Amino acid sequence: MPMMSMIALAWVSGCFSEPEPPAAPTQEKVAKSKPGKAKSKAKGKKPGAKPTVPAVGASGPVVGALVLTPVEPAPTPAGKTHVAVDLTFGEDGSATVELGKVNGTCSEVASESVGPEGREQVPTWTLRCKHREDRTVDLFILQTGKFMSLIKFVESTEPNGKSRFVPIKRIPLADGATLTRDQG
């Protein structure tokens, strides 16, 4: 048998397979790092990062009712007060926003315009919390942009020092939501 027919016969009978295309050249990545620097591991959220909080409410009016509850048993002589706001919105939407436990015995007082000069705003609720006989702290709950904020007023202890407003907690509101006070 001629050589050509033997190759053809071997190929047809499966002894030989079709030639494979040449493999693409591979390049190994060489890690370039500086001495003394550790490489970062998995990318993603930073450890200890605060989880994202979903927005509360719906577009349009979001009506809130303030809820002040004394914490029992009182952990401090002045006590603690649990502060929350019950919200209703849309057709049947409702939510309770927990603003936390505040040192002192808190009560609601009349709201007046507060804030830095030129950026004053009337809060939806104003709380006065009595820590001791000689000390009270004012807290304000108001809408700042797309957030419902709990803000603490800190008076300066220095003679000519500036008082300041410190944000304590911010809760995102739905786009187009307008926080209003329950009139009932």
Domain boundary assignment for the chain = 60-181
Instruction: Provide the whole-model pTM.
Output: 0.67
Q: How many CA atoms lie within 13 A of 145 on its CB side?
A: 4
Q: What pLDDT sits at residue 17?
A: 43
CA diameter of the chain: 117
With residue 10 as reference, give the H or E element that holds it: helix 3-13
Instruction: Tell me the one-letter amino acid at 53.
Output: V
Alpha helices in 31-169 (DSSP H): none
Q: How would you write the pLDDT of the chain (184 residues) with one tens digit per residue?
A: 454 444 443 434 444 444 445 555 444 444 454 555 555 555 556 666 666 778 888 899 999 999 999 988 766 777 899 999 999 998 889 999 999 998 889 999 999 988 777 888 999 999 999 877 778 889 999 998 999 999 998 877 777 777 788 899 999 999 999 999 998 7
